[in-house]
Amino acid sequence: MRALLRGSELRVDEDPMSELERRRRSGDRLVLLAGLDAERTLYVTSRRDAPFEPLVAAGSQLPDASTLFPAAASYQTEARELWGTRFEGAELDPDPDVRGVFRHQRVTSVGAVWGASEPLPLPAPRVAGEPVVRIPFGPVRDGTVESLLHRFHYLGEHIVELEQQLGYKHRAVEVRLPRSTIEQLPVFAERVSGPNGVAFALATCQAVETACGMTVSPRADALRGIVAELERVYNHFRDIGRLVASTTLRVGAAQAHALQESTQRIGARLTGHRFLRGVVAVGGVRRDLDVSGLAREASRLEVDARAYFEALEATELFIDRLETTGVLGAERALAWGAVGPVGRASGVSIDARRDAPYGAYRDQSFRVPVLEAGDALARFRVRCEEVLISLYLIREFAETLPEGPVRVSAPSSLPDDALALGWSEGVRGDVVALLATDRCGALSRAVLRGGSRHNWPLFPDTVHDSFLMDYAINEASWGLSVASHDR
């Protein structure tokens, strides 16, 4: 694993295409493409046995990588908006679903002028003809949900096109991050995508630890594992609850809310915070946690969860609504490297905990549920399975918790002229943290990429040619975070 690049490795001056082509042929997927500055672009690819391989390409004019990896398109759009990097041949979007990501104005250095004040106007619809009705939905949407714009084009009862505009919640997180101290980094990371804070903080801390060559104690690793799995459980209950609510099964939805609440209260008793914040720190965890009784609570929750999932599986009205709704084909999912439960429901077997094990997962074997159907039902079933597996992992970690210290002290500065990667498996896919330092050791660039950032561009395609009721169910079944995408 080359999660750390130093000095000359950061100044590669070669055509990245031949190397990327080689990786594509050996079955790699694109994890992340990010501009480091106007002159350097980082590609991160991964495959099952050799995960997270970085590659730095120099130059403000680069070949278009989306011909090899379709997922590159939206990252290239972002790099172009942010740094002015030109990707030859990519000016015409290869995928019509990928449109301006954040509409940044061109900048010369991070911390300079970012952003425009108005959302990008959506391009003229590609659907013509008089009976087509356009219905905008957002950015202020129904209920207590995050802001984004979906614009439907209707022909009769059919949605013939869905236009998706994200970026309304763009907070310029990556401008703020480099200004924080090392100690504050996880505090910032926890608040990029609130409900996925543990995974973001974990990825960030692991990047720092890789950069500084720190080793985390086994006890801290296990405690990190416990909070990360608790986070997965309450998020999955929430996403299942939203999905059940979208099929108007009110009683079922209320019971998912209740399970989510129980999980969050277990977390609050354990860590003092409903969103498990303030646990993960650089060098371990902030303070020791008392896990007595946790295994028992996890077992009790597992019994409740199992009974609840069985009741849902036995409700034909519910299952019928999910079957064949919002199908993400396996081929497309694989080509894009769709991550998280969405990918795993479409046959893409990716899980950073197993493929690029870190922390306590290194000595843990567990099943990664993968289904082939790619519809809302498959996504629902993958989440149900993952809840049970996570509860099992919590029990394992709690029962075999090693004794020992929970934190090694963090250095006051990072190594100079370095680029470090950290990752974790978040609730909605792998979370990748990239930290780069300049020649004085100051943080010059920080990128936090959550699973939703990778999956959102795939969503509109699954809505084409469906109905509005299906849209609501489909959208809930993806369970993506907008904050994690918009940053």
Partner 1 sequence: MFRWIARGLRIGTLTTRFPRKVPEAEALGSPLAALHPQGTERAEALRGASVCPTHAIEVDDEGVTLDLGRCIGCGLCWEQAPASFVEGPSYGLAADHRAGLRIRARWGAAPETPARRTRQAPGVWRRSLHVRHVDAGSDGAVEFELAQLNAPQYDLHRLGVFFTSSPRHADALLVTGPVTSAMAGALRTTFEAMPAPKLVVAAGVDAISGGLWASTEVTAAGVDAVVPVDVYIPGSPPSPLALIDGLLLGSGRRFVALDLERAPLEAGS
Binding residues for partner 1 (CB under 8 A): 113-119, 139-140, 142-147, 167-173, 175-176, 180, 183-184, 187-188, 191-197, 238, 241-242, 249, 251-252, 254-255, 257-258, 260-261, 264-265, 268-269, 272-275, 277-278, 286-287, 307, 311, 314-315, 481-484, 486
Which of 314/440 has CB closer to partner 1? Answer: 314
Which of 242/381 has CB closer to partner 1? Answer: 242
* Alpha carbon distances (Å) from 478 to 45, 366, 370, 457, 474: 24, 23, 15, 12, 6
Task: State the residue for tokens 């950069």.
Answer: 211
Least gap, CB of 404 to partner 1 (angstroms): 20
Least gap, CB of 101 to partner 1 (angstroms): 12
Least gap, CB of 37 to partner 1 (angstroms): 17
Q: How far apart are CA 69 and CA 94, in angstroms?
A: 11
Which of 81/417 has CB closer to partner 1? Answer: 81
Which of 57/177 has CB closer to partner 1? Answer: 177
Which of 47/169 has CB closer to partner 1? Answer: 169
Q: How far apart are CA 228 and CA 357, in angstroms?
A: 14
Q: How far apart are CA 93 and CA 89, in angstroms?
A: 9
Asked if residues 433 and 446 have their Cβ atoms less than 8 Å apart, the reply is yes
Asked if residues 450 and 485 have their Cβ atoms less than 8 Å apart, the reply is yes
Strand 418-426 relative to strand 429-437, pairing:
antiparallel
Amino acid present at 69: F
Q: How far apart are CA 118 and CA 115, in angstroms?
A: 9
Which of 65/223 has CB closer to partner 1? Answer: 223
Least gap, CB of 420 to partner 1 (angstroms): 21
Q: How far apart are CA 285 and CA 468, in angstroms?
A: 45
Least gap, CB of 217 to partner 1 (angstroms): 19
Amino acid present at 124: A
Asked if residues 224 and 285 have their Cβ atoms less than 8 Å apart, the reply is yes
- Strand-pair partners of 435: 420, 446
Task: State the residue for tokens 């690819």.
Answer: 45
Least gap, CB of 316 to partner 1 (angstroms): 11
Task: State the residue for tokens 């390409």.
Answer: 57
Which of 172/334 has CB closer to partner 1? Answer: 172
* Alpha carbon distances (Å) from 111 to 106, 239, 437: 12, 35, 15
Least gap, CB of 377 to partner 1 (angstroms): 19
Least gap, CB of 84 to partner 1 (angstroms): 17
Least gap, CB of 450 to partner 1 (angstroms): 10
Q: How far apart are CA 33 and CA 345, in angstroms?
A: 24
Which of 325/481 has CB closer to partner 1? Answer: 481
Instruction: Please measure the distance between the N-terminal and C-terminal CA atoms of the chain and give it in whole angstroms.
Output: 27
Which of 23/487 has CB closer to partner 1? Answer: 487
